């Protein structure tokens, strides 16, 4: 039976409100499916009549609890996601009917085994590289299997027509999000990157409805016409590396307070991935497989496309320097950082700063000192 968690009353207001919002959605009979990664074909979830919700943890909460089962040295994103889920603190996981996940990094895919003890979890087997023999064929098969999982889980049929409609809808959301991000191409940007990404990230990772595209377009218009008190000579920063939603305060907010403009991120949910749309005119399963395999993430090998994307974004967004955030325990991004640095320094001739961090506040002072020196250098 549908109910709120036992500890509901002890949660802070923001968390209680998030629980109540989803509780309402569920009471109306809507189904919810959790996701963790940009490789998840969310079109399948829409076509199954359910709402996709992002489950990636992005704060210190839940980490201590997670460390009773997971290694302390594991990436904070994985620990926080699992810790919030196991303690019923994540409303999105709590109300999810199931989870659609992928074999991306080792830590995540092993965590999914433990998560599967709490909820139904389907793990899609992602190819390790897009040039791997039969990569598109095997991923197409995985997309079909995922559809089968959702049909069984939610007791629905995913027809080609519903899937086609979902593809068209998600392509429209992608285009609307790109237009929103592109507001920051203006020099100076009329809006702070912190504010702009607050809008875009909540749109892409929280439950959506039909008015989403219009809301995004409205925000884009509002931001474009905003007159911001700023100076054209503020250095423009691109943020690369691991997903950075858990670093918004200590990295993004501080950077902007200290005099730089955060104009672009090349993380997997940003413009570099959104520009890939799904072909609306071919077999939907194959079209989804092809689109999602284009994503350039460090879990792929080789992953040279990420650096082409980076160079492209640096030029489009007129970037003056690149900051790379590497989360503790993230080997794939940590190893790739060597090539990011080479690309930024040697090919683009721009300053580069690597910050290794986690979701704690203990390194705030150190980060500020390094950011200050970096901003002065640009
Ligand atoms: S498409 S970036 S969401 S895998 S969890 S790899 S930080 S050790 S999140 Fe990711 Fe998909 Fe790629 Fe995007 Fe490292 Fe942590 Fe793993 Fe992480």
DSSP one-letter string for 76-140: HHHHHHHHHHHTT--HHHHT-SEEEEE--SHHHHHHHHHHTTTS-EEEE---S-TTSTTHHHHHH
Ligand 1, atom 14, residue with closest C-alpha: 330
Q: Residue 173 to residues 84, 214, 278, 290, 364: CA-CA distances in angstroms?
A: 28, 10, 12, 19, 35
Whole-number Å distance between alpha carbons of 34 and 51: 8
Q: What is the pLDDT of residue 203?
A: 62
Ligand 1 atom at shortest distance from the alpha carbon of 269: 13
Whole-number Å distance between alpha carbons of 359 and 278: 34
Residue 68, judged by CB atoms within 10 A of its CB (0-12, 13-18, 19+), counts as: exposed
Place of tokens 């509780």: 23
Whole-number Å distance between alpha carbons of 334 and 299: 11
Region 139-159: mean pLDDT is 98
Query: By the 8 A CB rule, do 119 and 93 touch?
Result: yes
Tokens of 362: 């203990």
Q: Is the CB of 321 under 6 A from ligand 1?
A: no
pLDDT tens by residue, 243-272: 999 999 999 999 999 999 999 999 888 899
% of the chain with per-residue pLDDT over 90: 87
Q: What angle do CA 363, 36, 88 make, to 5 degrees?
A: 80
Whole-number Å distance between alpha carbons of 236 and 256: 10
Ligand 1, atom 12, residue with closest C-alpha: 297
Using pLDDT thresholds of 50, 70 and 90, give the confidence band for residue 212.
Answer: confident
Distance 324 CA to ligand 1 centre (A): 14
Query: By the 8 A CB rule, do 181 and 220 touch?
Result: no
Whole-number Å distance between alpha carbons of 221 and 152: 42
Give 125-134's long-range contacts (Cβ < 8 A, gap of 24+): 126/39, 126/102, 126/299, 127/293, 128/299, 128/300, 128/301, 129/300, 129/301, 129/302, 129/303, 130/293, 130/294, 130/300, 131/302
Residue 207 reports pLDDT greater than 70: no
Q: Which residues of 24-40 are buried (b: 16+ CB within 10 A; e: fewer)?
A: ebbeeeebbbbbbbbbb
Distance 142 CA to ligand 1 centre (A): 19
Ligand 1, atom 11, residue with closest C-alpha: 37
> How many residues can be counted in the chain?
378
Which helix (H) or strand (E) element contains residue 335? helix 331-342
Whole-number Å distance between alpha carbons of 22 and 30: 10
Region 110-125: mean pLDDT is 98
Region 290-302: mean pLDDT is 96
Region 348-357: mean pLDDT is 98
Residue 154 reports pLDDT greater than 90: yes
3-class DSSP state for residue 42? helix
Q: In this structure, what are the phi and psi dihedrals at residue 21, rounded to the nearest 5 degrees?
A: -60, -45
Whole-number Å distance between alpha carbons of 87 and 98: 17
Q: What is the pLDDT of residue 201?
A: 74
Q: Residue 278 to residues 64, 159, 216, 227: CA-CA distances in angstroms?
A: 40, 17, 20, 36
Using pLDDT thresholds of 50, 70 and 90, give the confidence band for residue 131.
Answer: confident
Q: Is the CB of 75 under 6 A from ligand 1?
A: yes
Distance 231 CA to ligand 1 centre (A): 35
Q: Mean pLDDT score of the chain, rounded to an integer?
A: 94
Q: Is the CB of 47 under 6 A from ligand 1?
A: no
Residue 197, judged by CB atoms within 10 A of its CB (0-12, 13-18, 19+), counts as: buried
> What is the pTM assigned to this prediction?
0.95
Distance 309 CA to ligand 1 centre (A): 17
Residue 1 reports pLDDT greater than 70: yes
Count other C-beta atoms under 10 Å from residue 211's C-beta. 9
Region 363-368: mean pLDDT is 96
Cis? peptide before 264, omega within 30° of 0: no
DSSP one-letter string for 179-238: HHHGGGGSSS-SS-HHHHHHHHHHHHHS---TTHHHHHHHHHHHHHT------TTS-EEE
């Amino acid at each position: 039976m549908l109910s709120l968690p036992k500890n509901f009353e002890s949660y802070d207001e923001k968390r209680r409100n998030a629980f109540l919002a989803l509780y309402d959605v569920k009471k109306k009979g809507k189904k919810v499916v959790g996701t963790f990664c940009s490789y998840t074909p969310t079109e399948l979830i829409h076509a199954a009549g359910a709402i996709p919700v992002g489950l990636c943890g992005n704060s210190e909460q839940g980490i201590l609890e997670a460390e009773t089962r997971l290694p302390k040295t594991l990436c904070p994103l994985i620990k926080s996601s699992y810790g919030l889920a196991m303690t019923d603190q994540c409303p999105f996981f709590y109300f999810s009917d199931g989870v659609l996940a992928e074999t991306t990094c080792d830590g995540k895919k092993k965590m999914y085994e433990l998560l599967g003890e709490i909820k139904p979890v389907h793990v899609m087997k992602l190819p390790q590289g897009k040039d791997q023999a039969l990569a598109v064929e095997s991923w197409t098969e995985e997309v079909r299997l995922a559809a089968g999982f959702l049909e069984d889980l939610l007791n629905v049929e995913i027809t080609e027509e519903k899937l086609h409609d979902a593809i068209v809808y998600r392509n429209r959301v992608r285009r609307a999000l790109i237009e929103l991000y592109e507001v920051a191409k203006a020099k100076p940007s009329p809006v702070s990157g912190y504010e702009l990404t607050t809008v875009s990230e909540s749109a892409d990772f929280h439950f959506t409805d039909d008015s989403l595209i219009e809301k995004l377009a409205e925000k884009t218009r509002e931001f474009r016409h905003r007159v911001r008190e700023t100076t054209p000579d503020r250095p423009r920063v691109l943020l690369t590396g691991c997903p950075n939603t858990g670093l918004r305060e200590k990295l993004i907010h501080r950077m902007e307070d200290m005099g730089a403009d955060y104009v672009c991120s090349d993380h997997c949910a940003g413009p570099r991935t959104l520009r890939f749309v799904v072909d609306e005119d071919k077999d939907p399963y194959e079209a989804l497989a092809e689109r999602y395999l284009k994503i350039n993430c460090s879990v792929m090998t080789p992953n040279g496309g990420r650096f082409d994307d980076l160079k492209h974004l640096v030029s489009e967004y007129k970037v003056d320097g690149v900051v790379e955030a590497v989360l503790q325990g993230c080997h794939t991004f940590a190893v790739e950082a060597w090539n990011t640095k080479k690309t930024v320094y040697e090919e683009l001739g721009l300053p580069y700063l690597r910050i290794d961090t986690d979701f704690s506040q203990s390194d705030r002072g150190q980060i500020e000192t390094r950011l200050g020196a970096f901003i002065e250098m640009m």
